[in-house]
Structure 1
Amino acid sequence: MNSLLESNMFSFTTLAICFCLAVGCLFVYWTVILPRYNPLRTIPGPPLHGIYNVAHMSMVTNPALSPRAHAQFVQEFGRNVHIRGPFPWDDRLLTLDPLAISHVLKNTSIYQKPWQTRAMISTMIGTGILFAEGDAHKRFRKLGTAAFTPQHIHVSKAVIFQKALNVRRRWLSLLKGGQEERRLDVCDWICRATFDVIGKTGFDYEFNAVDGSEDELYLAYNRMFEVGVTQHSVNLWGALILQFPFLSYIYTDERIRTIAACRATIERVAGGLLREKKRLIVDSTKENKLFHGKDLLTLMLQSNLSPDIPPAQRHSDEEILNNISTYLFAGTDTTGMGLTWTLLLLAMYPDVQTRLRNELLSICPSISLETLSAEDIQSLFDNSIANLQYLDNVIKESLRLIPPIHSTIRCATQVDIIPTSSPMKFNDGGRIIESRKDIKVLKGTAIHIPIEGLNLDKEYWGHDAWNFNPDRWDDLPETVTSLPSPYAGILSFSAGPRFCLGQKFAIAEMKIVLFILVSHFVFRTTGEKLNKSNVVLTKPYLSDMSEGAQLPLFVSVYDNKS
């Protein structure tokens, strides 16, 4: 009996030792052997600091440091730079080269979003169009294209208009009809408004967020995004979980538990809405009637149930719900942050604010905005608001200067050669040389694309690239034409096949909200110190990030008699 026990103990000990040796060998291979043969090691870049390196990521992802870091990199190392992620095996290519960026964003089958990022976001919104890859992304994009039609955007203008008027009504009540100035958190108000817009246009649901609703679906979405994204800080444990997701099962923190609870609420309530809408569409079809829903969910379901689509190629209810959650996440925060930063810039530059307000007032109807019909609103936008040159300039300049998405990463799924616009600099035994115009990257290599960096690049935008100057759009430098983005040369909506499907919707929403708010209110800075932090999106904070994103401004009613 004892000999059998000793034999079992010996076997267990042997297995444990073999396992530890295997893990140790794998660690040495990852951290010592593999990096030595990475071609990126021959590209110059900033010095490394320790085994667990966070300095490089802080330099290129912290909005307080990144503009100067990007400019310094270009000056010292060229437009393609070797940086390293937190761990020794995480060699990355940071590129500010338009040709290289275009190649990476265009070849979506080779360069995909990192699985770590997809895993983190999918725990909240599932795998929708934003983080799907390959054939799944093509299927989702086809479904989204069928929903984001010009007709859908056209009818959505009235919804956006009414939600913006709702913000105006609430602000007027807080300002006692114009008798005082108040400090308002415009970030919170704007994000509530964009929630209401996407709720109604996305799946015909009234969140009533601007009115302070206690709706459980709104609270679940809002809480999940706040805890999962806004308040999420990546420390060593967080970085380890991103690399090794199974660790989250060893220690489940409050963030993971909160996200799970919110997801359960969303699946119950939103899933019920989806099933009910699907039933109405099917019943209408059986009765040879057309279901007239105009929201994204209805359009997706109608497209998905079309007899032209084989049953095997149709999307499941879960996939459609994931895509609606994705549009809610993307449409709320990205547009909300774009508007929030625009209001801050207008408060910082009162001359620009006054000039914009005068342009907006020039096309204001003589009758009350509340009395306009949906057709009147659509006509006002198409014939007047959409054609305002300075409004267009202000929005483009705001999105260029403070893009809601600070940067993005792609990961090579195979060995590839990236072309460069000028000869590359290589480190040949400590000696920097220039040679061929391409870079070899190995499978698994991360490519860091600094959206903000290219948007602020003085070589393309001129010596005042870091300044807020809406007039630049009336006379752009010729160098801007070489930039890869199809939207005004800025990368704020990405580029290539994954260019933002909702770009036209977002611009229409920004124009309508600014038309209503800037024509009725005056914005002034409070003097409080604001910090920009990159937590998936670039968001404003005061001293304590745990309090969530905030952007306080003094707001008063515009007196057109003064």
Structure 2
Amino acid sequence: MLQLLLPPEYGDYEFKWGKVYGPVYRIKACLGQDLLMVSDPTAVQYIVNSPSFVLTNSFQALAYWIYGEKSLTARTGEDHRQLRAVLNPAFAAAAVREYQPVFAGIAQRITERLDLCESPSIDMYPILSDAALSSISEAIFGCPVDDLNADFVQGNCDILELSSAQSASQILFDGIGSLLPGWFLRHALYLPIKTFNVVRAQLNLAYRQGWRLVREKREAAKQGLEMGNDMFSILLNSDSIREEDVVAQTSLMTIAGQDTAAKALSFGLIELAKNPQLQENLRAEIHAALGTDRENIPYDSMPLLNAFIKELLRMYPVLPISYRMALEDVVIPLSQSVGTTTGQRVNQIYVLKGESVSLAIASHNRLMESRWGEDADKFRPSRWLDGTVYQEEAIGPYANLLSFLGGPRTCLG
């Protein structure tokens, strides 16, 4: 398990195992538990859409601790489905494009900030992280980031650091957590432990920040002012969601959104730095498409840019691995047969009730040559333009990628 989650570089062992053992194999996890590693597309599609598989207790508890018990990620069953249905329209492509002026303004501010830098070398991640938080603040909350509570903003950074840290003790905790009942793990948040004290304080700050935003918007509406077209305002104008449910998403929107966007953009800059010709080609395409109209950006007329984004999401999924637990004995179908330890070839895998499976997202995106071509482990945006990519049944919501998962737990944005 340490080799899987704590390699010098992610995938050093996992990708090798996938090439040797195929898209489905078992490893020993913490405390001797069996863990099924799955990157087979048919199996993955079955797991993410099957009601027989749910989030593991430890992951569910983590969502409860970090995002709050009423956040979308922490909810389950019908409660999750109903809230998801209300939030989905606010994250649809058409809705997100309405925030184009916000994103363009923030991009301009990044450019101006970089122009002021005198050093030949610049640490881009903090800049991109700030930009991501600004985008969230303006597009989702409808206010400049400076209007947010300073302690709330700093607390987000602290929580991001805590939640992204991996260590042997953290892996052991997850292993023990998978054996404990969910109710126990949820209540563990109230133990007098320093880490939990930080998490509880941030949840309280997020709750107060969310209610402050709601009160300000309601007060503006009473004075005859328009609430705006930010996501919170749109949701509050809807009759299908309660104010407290909007407020409950404050932590989720800021923590999850800031981290994922900043990491994706950082990897994008790395790939551009490694390929100057790709830089030139992208720059030429963007300049040609924009012309003099900077307000109506024709993204659909920039095929190389779209291919670059898809390839970036394929090679660098923000969540490289995700876990599920079987609620009952299940038979998982496979797209291709795999060999067993007895030498047999099987086209389905049996999973027992309570057993955990790992959705090997990064392995699926990098090793499935039948979907991405023989050079699947290479960063090559042109694969999306030359017909290399498999175009049949889709697993995820975008470009047949697993990077946003799929099924009821598909990533919102």
TM-score (norm 1): 0.66
Shift of 1:386: 3.6
Structure 1 residue 408 and structure 2 residue 408: aligned? no
Deviation sequence 1:158-205 (CA, Å, 0-9, x none): 011111111111111224xxxxx5221111111110100011111113
**Residue of structure 2 equivalent to 1:113:** 55
The residue identity in structure 2 corresponding to 1:191 is S
Structure 1 residue 80 and structure 2 residue 24: aligned? yes
Q: 1:454 to 1:155 in 2, by over 3 A?
A: same
Aligned residues: 405
Q: 1:412 to 1:362 in 2, by over 3 A?
A: same
In structure 2, C-alpha distance between the alignment counterparts of 1:217 and 1:362, rounded to whole Å: 41
In structure 2, C-alpha distance between the alignment counterparts of 1:273 and 1:255, rounded to whole Å: 27
Question: Matched residue of 1:421: which SS?
Answer: strand
In structure 2, C-alpha distance between the alignment counterparts of 1:302 and 1:441, rounded to whole Å: 45
**Residue of structure 2 equivalent to 1:140:** 83
**Residue of structure 1 equivalent to 2:121:** 183
Structure 1 residue 500 and structure 2 residue 411: aligned? yes
Structure 1 residue 322 and structure 2 residue 248: aligned? yes
Unaligned runs of 5+ in 2: none
Mean CA deviation greater in 493-502 or 465-474: 493-502
In structure 1, C-alpha distance between the alignment counterparts of 2:190 and 2:214, rounded to whole Å: 35
**Residue of structure 1 equivalent to 2:285:** 359
Alignment of structure 1 residues 363-512 onto 2, 5 Å:
363-366=289-292, 377-379=294-296, 381=297, 383=298, 385-427=299-341, 431-435=342-346, 437-460=347-370, 461-477=372-388, 479=390, 481=392, 484-502=395-413
**Residue of structure 2 equivalent to 1:273:** 213
The residue identity in structure 2 corresponding to 1:224 is I
Deviation sequence 1:444-489 (CA, Å, 0-9, x none): 2211111110111152222322222111111233646356234222
Question: Matched residue of 1:466: which SS?
Answer: coil
Deviation sequence 1:94-147 (CA, Å, 0-9, x none): 11211111101122x222211211212321211422342211211121121242
Unaligned runs of 5+ in 1: 1-53, 176-180, 367-375, 503-562
Structure 1 residue 230 and structure 2 residue 202: aligned? no
Alignment of structure 1 residues 185-200 onto 2, 5 Å:
185-200=123-138
2:67–2:73 contact (8 Å) kept in structure 1: no
Shift of 1:242: 3.2
**Residue of structure 2 equivalent to 1:174:** 117
Q: 1:67 to 1:482 in 2, by over 3 A?
A: farther
The residue identity in structure 2 corresponding to 1:94 is M
Question: Matched residue of 2:35: which SS?
Answer: strand
Question: Matched residue of 2:30: which SS?
Answer: coil
1:82–1:94 contact (8 Å) kept in structure 2: yes
Shift of 1:268: 2.4
Shift of 1:70: 3.3
2:128–2:266 contact (8 Å) kept in structure 1: yes
Deviation sequence 1:380-400 (CA, Å, 0-9, x none): x1x3x4421111111111111
In structure 2, C-alpha distance between the alignment counterparts of 1:259 and 1:355, rounded to whole Å: 45
Q: 1:72 to 1:222 in 2, by over 3 A?
A: closer
Shift of 1:328: 2.1
Shift of 1:277: 2.6
2:189–2:200 contact (8 Å) kept in structure 1: no
In structure 2, C-alpha distance between the alignment counterparts of 1:343 and 1:146, rounded to whole Å: 31
Question: Matched residue of 1:196: which SS?
Answer: helix
Quote the RMSD (CA, aligned, Å): 2.9
2:68–2:203 contact (8 Å) kept in structure 1: no
The residue identity in structure 1 corresponding to 2:401 is I
Deviation sequence 1:356-410 (CA, Å, 0-9, x none): 12222334445xxxxxxxxx6442x1x3x44211111111111111112111111
Q: 1:248 to 1:497 in 2, by over 3 A?
A: closer
**Residue of structure 2 equivalent to 1:521:** none
Q: Which has the larger radius of gyration?
A: 1
2:264–2:313 contact (8 Å) kept in structure 1: yes
The residue identity in structure 1 corresponding to 2:201 is A
2:160–2:259 contact (8 Å) kept in structure 1: no
In structure 2, C-alpha distance between the alignment counterparts of 1:135 and 1:293, rounded to whole Å: 31
Q: 1:83 to 1:399 in 2, by over 3 A?
A: same
Aligned partner (choices 300, 320, 328) of residue 235 of structure 2: 300
The residue identity in structure 1 corresponding to 2:382 is D
**Residue of structure 2 equivalent to 1:36:** none
Q: 1:406 to 1:153 in 2, by over 3 A?
A: same
In structure 1, C-alpha distance between the alignment counterparts of 2:262 and 2:268, rounded to whole Å: 10
The residue identity in structure 2 corresponding to 1:112 is V
Question: Matched residue of 2:340: which SS?
Answer: strand
Q: 1:247 to 1:499 in 2, by over 3 A?
A: closer
Question: Matched residue of 1:420: which SS?
Answer: strand
In structure 1, C-alpha distance between the alignment counterparts of 2:59 and 2:80, rounded to whole Å: 16
Q: 1:351 to 1:102 in 2, by over 3 A?
A: same
1:159–1:197 contact (8 Å) kept in structure 2: yes
Q: 1:343 to 1:425 in 2, by over 3 A?
A: same
1:207–1:215 contact (8 Å) kept in structure 2: no
The residue identity in structure 1 corresponding to 2:129 is C
Deviation sequence 1:387-446 (CA, Å, 0-9, x none): 21111111111111111211111112222221112334333xxx32224x2222222221
**Residue of structure 2 equivalent to 1:125:** 67
Identity %: 23
In structure 2, C-alpha distance between the alignment counterparts of 1:483 and 1:386, rounded to whole Å: 20
Question: Matched residue of 1:205: which SS?
Answer: coil
1:494–1:500 contact (8 Å) kept in structure 2: yes
